[in-house]
């Protein structure tokens, strides 16, 4: 029976049945049922670009002769398209089985008269989403024919899709996550001071928590060290809970691969998908695909939080206010086996796992709203959107727009890095300054691309004719871009920028505490992220729409705009303290700042806004390094050790506290007292080894380092302990007492005893230097921090304002 159904797309996949592909849309319907929609009439295809349009007809029989019985070539047709903005005629080649497209690409590329083969690398299921203009997590309505639910499918209903779905407008501003079932999980693995090995070490505990059904996580345990029944129960629980979204923390890299290995070892089928016989598998961008469910690794979101360098679950949960570290059980990975083996400690291990699960679910509701909007805007499914780089997220949206505009999608190529001059960064005016306004150009680089029609399709290539009045010429670099017609990037960015303006206007009309406000805010942030990525994308060597000249021209225009803005500020009598990329730090005189904003917008044609006002801000002589106190009492630290990963937590905390004291109270003496108290605490032995741990990333295998470094020494010690060490790992080490070079005294933090720590090293090389980055400007010396007479702020400042102050 033909009917209409309204549904939300969760994910898309396909299967080949009877030698033909069938698209599978995983969805939920308006009545909150889980459904699957099938579409049988979509076929894989690719394009051939000829060297000359004159020999196009000659190519057709040559292409047809490539046809293979395994996947016959169904059609070869001449089509009109555009390629990098230029009209072209191409051959559209349609076949039957998606997996054979790549084989045909290789064969077709060798044919005489073929210039290029395009769009053969687009995954088939996502190709369907592009062509039908469908977006994950959005709602659609379509005519369907109900079918019997295929055996083994874990859905309530099945339909055959009879037409192209149309977006349902009544759901545009409905939270896409509302009503979806979310399950968090985490595993604990037995180990004894070595990296867990799935061939040897069992899973001893699995924690699960389902939203919105459960108030407390379920903690499941192995029978001794036999995890067969535990894994079987995990499969049963996932199927019973039937989640739409599965979340974990680093599960794509650890939990899922470990579960898959242990299941294979026991001969257990890890049947947690909604489609029968399909186990979790490696998907696009390294994520683990669970058919019919969205497996989202929250670690991918945490990776983009620059303020936290050690991205452990407890650190991220603490930073985001999900679960303070002091209120949870914290165990180190090497303690898991010990706590499992000791019956008296096992309850602590249960609480530890429970806290991990609660933290994971808490992070899910911090991260998923943004992820859902980014999925809806970019077109990548929620389980892939954060696993992909920013460049890939933008590229999928560009590919959608290309399909709509009849543009052929360029191939991705491997290119070497090509450098070009970047943004302007002014030398700051060192010192402590009061009442400083920070002005930010709104989406400067996307706005430049729109205003000057920048893109690979509008770029005047060497030898191409042009009239000077028909082009925009970039300052300094001289690259020229045609004013008309509007380019590919201009069309897309105009939509992005106007879309974001509309959303921000609507946000002003709703209650900031309302769900609608939060939904709109996450949406505008997703749009901003993609729009701001457009300039960097063009300079990304693997980009399909790569254009070094475009990226170079955008930064040149950016530098010109900043210089003119600085000239305008000084003409109005405002002192300029600092400038960086698209921001200016100027003296805050409200009427003059308002006039500056108005003048810049009228004369330069770019929107600039007052981002914040610092009551006090401190600049060193170095670029990109300052500390500021906002009007609401927040401390911003930029470029100091407090936000870098190669200093100990104690050094970073000391520096942050020093900045806070100086900025809030103006008392350098109080800051000196604080540093002395930290030094005294260290010498008393009143510290935790983790406070003194220094983290550094291995960029290559330890054996390939020519110069010995502390973290390399620590890594070699870990390897001797049987711990797997790989490039990309963060190695935590402490410096212990002894003789010899520094690298010889490094030890993995989890092997170091408190009594071994070289306290004087941390005082001399960590705490004092970190504090002096700020206090040294006021004349404070190392000797002063370690002991000396009393001084007031005026003593440090010589009875006047700080050097560089007004």
Q: What is the pLDDT of residues 155-195, one digit of tens each?
A: 999 999 999 999 999 999 899 999 999 999 999 999 876 77
Strand runs (DSSP E) across 273-403, as ranges?
281-282, 288-289, 294-297
pTM of the model: 0.88
State how beta strands 157-161 and 608-619 pair.
unpaired
Among 371, 374, 379, smallest CA distance to 401 is for 379
pLDDT for the residue 239: 97
CB 188 within 8 A of CB 349: yes
- Please check the confidence at residue 214 and state whether its pLDDT lies above 80: yes
- Please check the confidence at residue 647 and state whether its pLDDT lies above 70: yes
- Please check the confidence at residue 483 and state whether its pLDDT lies above 90: yes
CB-based burial label for 490 (10 Å; 0-12, 13-18, 19+): buried
Structure tokens at 583: 């921001």
pLDDT for the residue 644: 56
- Please check the confidence at residue 745 and state whether its pLDDT lies above 90: yes
CB 581 within 8 A of CB 423: yes
CB 677 within 8 A of CB 669: no
- Please check the confidence at residue 591 and state whether its pLDDT lies above 80: yes
Structure tokens at 586: 């100027």
Alpha-carbon gap, residue 740 to 761, rounded angstroms: 13
- Counts of helices then strands in the chain (DSSP H, E): 23, 28
Alpha-carbon gap, residue 492 to 118, rounded angstroms: 22
Strand, helix or coil for residue 743: helix
pLDDT for the residue 773: 87
Q: Beta-carbon neighbour count of residue 162 at 10 Å?
A: 14
CA 781 to chain centre: 41
Among 321, 330, 317, smallest CA distance to 360 is for 317
Among 525, 559, 555, smallest CA distance to 539 is for 555
pLDDT for the residue 423: 73
| pLDDT-based confidence at residue 326 (cuts at 50, 70, 90) | very high
- Please check the confidence at residue 629 and state whether its pLDDT lies above 50: yes
> Which of 761 and 795 is assigned the larger pLDDT?
761
pLDDT for the residue 638: 82
Strand, helix or coil for residue 168: coil
Q: Measuring CA to CA, how many Å separate 155 from each of 7, 30, 152, 158, 652?
A: 13, 14, 9, 8, 52
N residues, the chain: 806
| pLDDT-based confidence at residue 84 (cuts at 50, 70, 90) | very high
DSSP code of 764? Answer: I
Among 491, 377, 407, 391, smallest CA distance to 135 is for 377
Average pLDDT, the chain: 91
pLDDT for the residue 425: 79
Among 713, 340, 371, 373, smallest CA distance to 523 is for 373
- Please check the confidence at residue 621 and state whether its pLDDT lies above 90: no
Q: Which helix (H) or strand (E) holds 514?
A: none
CB-based burial label for 427 (10 Å; 0-12, 13-18, 19+): exposed
pLDDT for the residue 571: 94
pLDDT in tens, 247-283: 999 999 999 999 999 999 999 999 999 999 899 999 8
| pLDDT-based confidence at residue 667 (cuts at 50, 70, 90) | confident
Q: Which helix (H) or strand (E) holds 603?
A: helix 590-603
Q: Beta-carbon neighbour count of residue 570 at 10 Å?
A: 12
Q: Measuring CA to CA, how many Å separate 604 from each of 465, 534, 569, 575?
A: 29, 21, 13, 20
pLDDT in tens, 506-538: 999 999 998 889 999 999 999 999 999 998 999
> Which of 419 and 444 is assigned the larger pLDDT?
444
Alpha-carbon gap, residue 69 to 73, rounded angstroms: 9
Q: Is the dihedral of CA 430, 432, 433, 436 positive or negative?
A: positive
Q: Measuring CA to CA, how many Å separate 601 from each of 441, 597, 609, 612?
A: 10, 6, 10, 18
pLDDT in tens, 693-725: 998 888 888 888 888 899 999 999 988 888 888
Q: Which helix (H) or strand (E) holds 590?
A: helix 590-603
Alpha-carbon gap, residue 782 to 787, rounded angstroms: 9
Alpha-carbon gap, residue 617 to 626, rounded angstroms: 7
Query: Which of these ranges, 111-115, 246-250, 307-311, 769-773, has the smallest mean pLDDT?
Result: 307-311
Q: Which residues pair with 147 in a beta bridge?
A: 158
Residue 419 phi/psi, 5° resolution? -85, 155
pLDDT in tens, 422-456: 777 778 888 889 999 999 998 899 999 999 999 99
- Please check the confidence at residue 64 and state whether its pLDDT lies above 60: yes
Strand, helix or coil for residue 398: helix
Strand, helix or coil for residue 77: strand
Does the N-terminal peptide bond of residue 212 adopt cis geometry, omega within 30 degrees of 0? yes
Q: Measuring CA to CA, how many Å separate 538 from each of 102, 472, 489, 541, 549?
A: 26, 18, 10, 8, 9
pLDDT for the residue 415: 78
Q: Beta-carbon neighbour count of residue 325 at 10 Å?
A: 12
pLDDT for the residue 641: 60
CB 97 within 8 A of CB 16: yes
Sequence-separated (6 or more) residues with CB below 8 Å from residue 462: none
pLDDT in tens, 23-42: 999 999 999 999 999 999 99
Q: Phi-psi region for residue 193, left (φ > 0), alpha (ψ -120 to 50) or beta? A: left
pLDDT for the residue 107: 96
Average pLDDT over residues 597-625: 89
Strand, helix or coil for residue 225: coil
Structure tokens at 726: 């790989």
């Amino acid at each position: 029976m033909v009917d209409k159904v309204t549904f939300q797309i969760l994910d898309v996949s396909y299967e080949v049945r009877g030698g033909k592909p069938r698209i599978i849309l995983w969805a939920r319907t308006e009545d909150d049922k889980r459904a699957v929609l099938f579409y049988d009439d979509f076929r894989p295809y690719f394009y051939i670009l000829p060297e000359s349009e004159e020999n196009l007809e000659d190519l057709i029989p040559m292409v047809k002769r490539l046809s293979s019985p395994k996947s016959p070539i169904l059609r070869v047709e001449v089509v009109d398209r555009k390629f990098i903005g230029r009209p072209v005629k191409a051959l559209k080649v349609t076949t039957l089985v998606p997996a054979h497209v790549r084989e045909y690409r290789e064969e077709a590329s060798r044919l005489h008269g073929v210039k290029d083969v395009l769009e053969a690398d687009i995954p088939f299921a996502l190709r369907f989403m592009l062509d039908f203009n469908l977006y994950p997590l959005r709602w659609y309505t379509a005519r369907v024919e109900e079918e019997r639910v295929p055996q083994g499918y874990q859905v309530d209903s099945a339909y055959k899709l009879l037409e192209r779905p149309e977006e349902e407008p009544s759901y545009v501003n409905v939270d896409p996550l509302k009503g979806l079932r979310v399950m968090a999980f985490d595993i604990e693995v037995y180990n004894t001071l070595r990296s867990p090995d799935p061939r040897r070490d069992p899973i001893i505990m699995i924690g699960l928590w389902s939203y919105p059904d459960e108030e407390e996580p379920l903690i499941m345990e192995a029978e001794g060290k036999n995890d067969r029944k535990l894994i079987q129960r995990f499969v049963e629980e996932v199927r019973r809970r039937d989640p739409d979204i599965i979340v974990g923390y680093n599960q794509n890299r650890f939990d899922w691969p470990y579960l898959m290995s242990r299941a294979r070892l026991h001969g257990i089928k890890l049947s947690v998908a909604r489609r029968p016989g399909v186990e979790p598998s490696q998907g696009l961008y390294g994520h683990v695909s669970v058919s019919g469910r969205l497996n989202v690794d929250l670690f991918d979101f945490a990776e983009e939080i620059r303020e936290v360098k050690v991205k452990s679950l407890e650190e991220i949960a603490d930073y985001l206010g999900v679960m303070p570290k002091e209120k949870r059980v914290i165990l180190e990975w090497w303690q898991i086996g010990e706590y499992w083996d000791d019956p008296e400690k096992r309850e602590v291990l249960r609480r530890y796992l429970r806290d991990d699960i609660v933290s994971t679910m808490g992070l899910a509701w911090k991260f998923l709203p943004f992820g859902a909007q980014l999925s809806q805007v970019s077109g990548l499914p929620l389980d892939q959107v954060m696993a992909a780089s920013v460049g890939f997220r933008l590229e999928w949206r560009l590919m959608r727009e290309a399909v709509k505009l009849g543009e052929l999608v360029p191939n991705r190529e491997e290119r070497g890095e090509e450098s070009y001059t970047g943004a302007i960064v002014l030398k700051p005016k060192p010192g402590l300054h009061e009442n400083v306004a920070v002005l930010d150009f709104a989406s400067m680089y996307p706005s430049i691309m729109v205003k000057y029609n920048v893109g690979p399709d509008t770029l005047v290539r060497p030898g191409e004719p042009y009239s000077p009045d028909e082009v925009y010429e970039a300052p300094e670099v001289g690259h020229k871009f045609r004013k008309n017609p509007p380019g590919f990037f201009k069309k897309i960015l105009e939509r992005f920028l106007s879309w974001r303006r509309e959303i921000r206007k609507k946000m002003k009309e709703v209650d900031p505490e309302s769900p609608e406000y939060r939904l709109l805010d996450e949406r505008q942030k997703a749009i901003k992220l993609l729009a701001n990525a457009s300039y960097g994308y063009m300079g990304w060597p693997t980009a399909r729409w790569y254009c070094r000249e475009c990226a170079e021209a955008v930064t040149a225009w950016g530098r010109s705009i900043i210089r003119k803005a600085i000239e305008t500020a000084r003409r109005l009598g405002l002192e300029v303290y600092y400038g960086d990329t698209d921001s200016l730090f100027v003296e805050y005189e409200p009427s003059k700042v308002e006039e500056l904003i108005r003048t810049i917008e009228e004369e330069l044609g770019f929107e600039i806004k007052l981002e914040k006002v610092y009551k006090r801000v401190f600049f060193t002589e170095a670029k990109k390094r300052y500390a500021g106190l906002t009007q609401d009492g927040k401390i911003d630290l930029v470029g100091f050790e407090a936000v870098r990963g190669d200093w100990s937590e104690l050094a970073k905390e000391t520096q942050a506290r020093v900045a806070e004291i100086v900025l809030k109270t103006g008392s350098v003496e109080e800051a000196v007292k604080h540093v002395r108290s930290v030094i005294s605490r260290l010498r008393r032995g009143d510290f935790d080894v983790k406070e003194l741990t220094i983290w550094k990333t291995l960029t290559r295998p330890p054996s390939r380092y020519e110069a010995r470094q502390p973290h390399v020494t620590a890594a070699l010690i870990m390897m001797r302990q049987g711990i797997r060490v790989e490039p990309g790992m963060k190695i935590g080490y402490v410096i212990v007492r002894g003789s010899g070079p520094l690298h010889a005294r490094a030890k993995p933090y989890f092997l170091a005893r408190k009594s071994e720590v070289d306290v004087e090293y941390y005082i001399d090389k960590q705490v004092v230097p970190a504090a002096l980055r700020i206090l040294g400007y006021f004349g404070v010396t190392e000797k002063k921090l370690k002991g000396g007479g009393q001084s007031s702020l005026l003593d440090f400042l010589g009875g006047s304002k700080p050097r560089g102050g007004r």
